[in-house]
Every structure is written in C-alpha cells, then in structure tokens.
Amino acid sequence: MPNATARAELFAGARSVAPMLVGIIPFGLVAGATPVANGLGGGAAIGLSTIVFAGASQLAAADALGDGGSALVAVIAACTINLRLLLYSASLAPHLARVPLRRRMLIGYLLTDQAYAVSITRWTSDADAEAAGGPPAPGLDRKVPFYFGAALLLWANWQVCTIIGVLLGSAVPESLPLDFAVPLVFLVLLVPAISSRPAVVAALAGGLVALFAAEAGAGHLGVLFGALGGIAAGATAEAFLERTGPRDDTPLPPDPSVAP
C-alpha cells in the first residue's frame, strides 16, 4: 500500500494532466472510430490503443492498413512517428536511472507527450529551485509516483475513449471535426513550454523544418526532422546567448566617489 507521500504525488501527477484531457478525449474518440471506419473493426482499434498506446502512431497504422498496406508498412509508419519518444527517454534517463529495470519498462510503455511534459517540467523546476538555494529536489520516492499518477490517468482515459469511439464512431456526424483535437493536444503542450528565447527559437525552427520536410515528401519523418532541427536551433541559441550575455565575474568599474 503506498504511503502518504506516494499517494500525494500520485494525485499531484493526475491533477497536472487533468486539464489536458479536454483535448485528449476527442483525440481518443478519433483513435477508436478511425480503424472502424477503415474496415479494420473495433478489436483492432482497442488492440492498437492497448498495445501501441500512441495516438498519432495508431492513426498512421490504421490509415496504412485501411489503404491496403502490409503490416510491415503499418509498423514502420507507427515506429517512425514514435521516434520522438527516444528523445523523451534520453531526457528522462538522468532522473530515473536508479529505478529497477522492470519498473522502467512500465514507465517506457506509459510514456506519452503529456506525461513527459508535466514530469520533466516539475523535476527541472525542482532542480533549479534547489540550485538557487531552495529545498532539496524530490527523490525517486516522489518522482516515480508523480509520473505514474499522470501516466496512468492518461492511459485509462485513452482506453475508455477508444471504446466509446468504437461504439459511437459511426454515429458521429462527419460534419463534426473531431480531428481538430490532434493539433490541439500538442498546442496545449507547446505553449507553456515556450518560456525563454531559446525555446522560442526551437519552436519556430522545429515547426519550419517539419513543414518543409513534409512538403518535400518526407511524410511522417517530417516530425523527426522537426524535432532534431528544433533541438539544434534551441541549443545554438542558448549557446549564443551564454557567449554574448553579461558575465557575473566581470569586474565593476571603480566608484569615482571613493578616493584611491
């Protein structure tokens, strides 16, 4: 039975992602309805949500299979889109390196854009506060429950919405644009993260690279190119600002009112 601290962190993680469900719910309905509309059946929709558990990848796989593509093509499409999770994993690794392997595998299965965003934001903020002389950053006894609180709420919501999408997908009018939820979900993550000039540069560069890559025929690889381009641009901007910004060790000019 989890102790009081673990329970508090579980609820804190769930509360942190709860506002994001506004965009995720219609996204989950689309993930349930799309395989049915493509002739794959409700079982395929539920299986994709349970095994793959990645909205954009599920839609790509369902589209590939619905268009008559092979299972291999569907797997490649899904994995290509999910390559961004490698970047997320590398970012989380320093925080979770001492977690047992079996639990890390469960963390990896539950990894989503939203769970990553709220967790890394919380942990980075705590580390920055500690470096500034604040309280010690939380250890794994608080980090892991916080992550699971966020990730498990997202997982449960996704499964329920998928089932509802399977059952009601054919009854939803085509004029109702549920697809709007897909970009909305990612905009909810993007806007709060743009909190500095390097972040602005990274967002603009990543978006432009992804757009040009898609126009050039890169397909779903445009997402990966955009991510890499954004990281490179953000890191370059941060390094430039560090070189050109004021240095704390620059000696102050002598005070003319003080006699030598």
Q: How far apart are CA 149 and CA 173, in angstroms?
A: 34
Burial class (CB in 10 A: 0-12, 13-18, 19+), 13: buried
- Burial code of 24-55, b = ≥16 C-beta within 10 A, e = fewer? bbbbbbbbbbbbbbbebebebbbebbeebbbb
Give residue 9's pLDDT band: very low, low, confident or very high (50, 70, 90): very high
Candidates 49, 20, 12, 3; CA nearest to 188 is 20
Tell which wins on pLDDT, 236 or 183: 236
Residue 247: pLDDT over 50: no
Query: Phi then psi for 57, rounded to 5 degrees?
Result: -70, -40
Give residue 249's pLDDT band: very low, low, confident or very high (50, 70, 90): very low
Q: How far apart are CA 256 and CA 205, in angstroms?
A: 47
Lowest mean pLDDT among 87-101, 160-174, 228-242, 246-260: 246-260
Count of residues in the chain: 260
- pLDDT for the residue 248: 45
91-148 pLDDT, tens digit each:
899 999 899 999 999 999 999 988 998 999 888 888 878 788 878 778 888 999 999 9
- pLDDT for the residue 111: 94
Q: Name the helix (H) or strand (E) containing 5.
A: helix 4-17
Q: Are 78 and 58 in contact, with CB atoms under 8 Å apart?
A: yes
Percent pLDDT > 70 in the chain is 80
- pLDDT for the residue 158: 94
Residue 230, both tokens: 């954004």
**Chain-wide mean pLDDT for the chain?**
79
Lowest mean pLDDT among 19-28, 186-195, 211-220: 186-195
Q: Are 211 and 229 in contact, with CB atoms under 8 Å apart?
A: no
Q: How far apart are CA 199 and CA 207, in angstroms?
A: 12
Residue 212: pLDDT over 60: yes
Q: Helix 140-168 and helix 84-96: axis angle, to 10°?
A: 150
- pLDDT for the residue 55: 82
- pLDDT for the residue 192: 55
Mean pLDDT confidence for 48-66: 86
Residue 202, both tokens: 């990274």
Whole-model pTM: value is 0.72
138-195 pLDDT, tens digit each:
888 899 999 999 999 999 999 999 999 898 866 655 655 555 555 655 555 565 556 6
- Burial code of 168-190, b = ≥16 C-beta within 10 A, e = fewer? ebeeeeeeeebeebbeebeebbb
- Could you give the count of Cα atoms lying within 13 Å of 216 in the half-sphere of its Cβ? 12
Tell which wins on pLDDT, 247 or 51: 51
Q: How far apart are CA 159 and CA 33, in angstroms?
A: 13
Residue 225: pLDDT over 80: no
Lowest mean pLDDT among 113-122, 218-227, 230-239, 249-258: 249-258
